[in-house]
Amino acid sequence: MKKIGLLLFSIVFITSVNFAQDSKTKAGHTNQNKFKQLKELLPTPNLQRTASGAPGLKYTQQKVDYTMDIILDDENTRIYGNETITYHNNSDDTLPYLWVQLDQNMRAADSKTPDIQSSSIPNSTSEKRFKKSYIDAAFDGGFKIESVKNLDDTNLSHTVNQTMMRINLETPLSSGEKFQFKIKWWYNINNHRTDGGRSGYEHFAKDGNNNYVIAQFYPRMCVYDNVEGWQNDQFWGRSEFALEFGDFTVNITTPEDHMLGATGILKNEDEVLSKKELKRLEKAKTTFDNPVLIRTQDEAEKIEKSRSKKTKTWKFYAENVRDYAFATSRKFIWDAMAVDINGKTVMAHSLYSKEANPLYGDHSTRAVAQTLKTYSKYTFDYPYHKAISVDGQMGMEYPQICFNPGRPDADGTYSDKIKYRMIKVTIHEVGHNFFPMIVNSDERQWTWMDEGLNSYMEMLAELDYDKDFPITRGYPKNIVKYMAGDQSTIAPIMSKGDHVYEFGNNAYGKPATALWILRETIMGKELFDHAFRTYSQRWMFKHPSPADFFRTMEDASGIDLDWFWRGWFYTTDVTDIGIEGVRKFYATNNTSKEGVDFIEDTSEGLNITKPTSSKSKYFYEITFNKPGGLVMPIIVEYTYDDGSKEKKTYPAQIWRYNDQKVTKAVHSDKQITKIVIDPDLETADVDLSNNSFPNTNKDQFSKFKTKMKN
Q: Which residue type occupies 663?
A: T
- CA distance linking residue 118 with residue 156, whole number of Å: 38
- CA distance linking residue 428 with residue 527, whole number of Å: 24
- Whether residues 553 and 580 fall in one domain: no
The pLDDT of residue 43: 95
Strand-pair partners of 666: 620
- Whether residues 538 and 579 fall in one domain: no
Domain membership of residue 321 (yes or no) is no
The pLDDT of residue 1: 34
Task: Tell me, yes or no, if the pTM score tops 0.85.
Answer: yes
Tens digit of each residue's pLDDT (9 = 90 or more) over 18-59 = 434 444 567 888 888 999 999 989 999 999 999 999 999 999
- Whether residues 566 and 473 fall in one domain: yes
> What secondary structure letter does DSSP report for 662?
E
- Whether residues 130 and 94 fall in one domain: yes
Domain membership of residue 533 (yes or no) is yes
- CA distance linking residue 580 with residue 601, whole number of Å: 17
- Whether residues 80 and 228 fall in one domain: yes
Domain membership of residue 257 (yes or no) is no
Q: At which of 555, 572, 589 does a domain end? A: 572
Domain membership of residue 530 (yes or no) is yes
CATH number of the structural domain spanning residue 566: 1.10.390.10
- Whether residues 600 and 518 fall in one domain: no
Please tell me the total count of domains within the chain. Answer: 3
- Whether residues 632 and 527 fall in one domain: no
- Are the CB atoms for 91 and 228 separated by under 8 Å? no
Strand-pair partners of 229: 225
Whole-angstrom CA distances from 252 to 311, 346, 544 are 10, 24, 33
Which residues, including other chains, have CB under 8 Å from residue 438's CB and lie 6 or more apart? Answer: 380, 383, 540, 541
- CA distance linking residue 25 with residue 107, whole number of Å: 62
Tens digit of each residue's pLDDT (9 = 90 or more) over 624-634 = 999 999 999 99
CATH number of the structural domain spanning residue 692: 2.60.40
- Whether residues 512 and 590 fall in one domain: no
- CA distance linking residue 391 with residue 210, whole number of Å: 12
**DSSP letter string, 84-109:** EEEEE--SSS-EEEEEEE-GGGGGBT
Label residue 320 exposed, middle or buried (CB < 10 Å: 0-12, 13-18, 19+): middle
- CA distance linking residue 369 with residue 347, whole number of Å: 8
CA-derived radius of gyration, the chain: 31
The pLDDT of residue 468: 96
- CA distance linking residue 561 with residue 522, whole number of Å: 9
What's the number of CA atoms in the CB half-sphere (13 Å) around residue 310?
Answer: 5
Q: With H, G, I as helix, E, B as strand and everything else as coil, classify residue 1.
A: coil
Domain membership of residue 522 (yes or no) is yes
Q: At which of 511, 544, 572 does a domain end? A: 572
Total residue length of the chain: 710
Sheet with 326-329: list strands edge to edge. Answer: 200-204, 209-214, 326-329, 259-262
Domain membership of residue 30 (yes or no) is no
Domain membership of residue 553 (yes or no) is yes
- Are the CB atoms for 71 and 80 separated by under 8 Å? yes
The pLDDT of residue 613: 56
- CA distance linking residue 240 with residue 496, whole number of Å: 11
Q: With H, G, I as helix, E, B as strand and everything else as coil, classify residue 479.
A: helix
Domain membership of residue 240 (yes or no) is yes
Q: At which of 244, 268, 288 does a domain end? A: 244
- Are the CB atoms for 573 and 566 separated by under 8 Å? no
Strand-pair partners of 185: 81, 145
Average pLDDT across the chain, whole number = 92
- Whether residues 536 and 600 fall in one domain: no
- CA distance linking residue 241 with residue 145, whole number of Å: 21
- Whether residues 562 and 582 fall in one domain: no
- CA distance linking residue 578 with residue 678, whole number of Å: 10
Nearest to 548 by CA among 51, 179, 27, 28: 51
Whole domain around residue 231: which residue ranges?
60-116+126-244
- Whether residues 629 and 643 fall in one domain: yes
Label residue 691 exposed, middle or buried (CB < 10 Å: 0-12, 13-18, 19+): buried
Average pLDDT per consecutive 10 residues, the chain (710 residues; last block may be shorter): 35 37 67 92 96 97 98 98 98 98 92 80 82 75 97 98 97 98 98 93 97 98 95 89 97 98 98 98 98 98 94 98 98 98 98 98 98 98 98 96 97 97 98 98 95 98 97 96 95 92 94 98 98 98 98 98 98 97 86 76 84 69 97 97 96 96 94 96 97 74 48
- Whether residues 682 and 654 fall in one domain: yes
The pLDDT of residue 703: 53
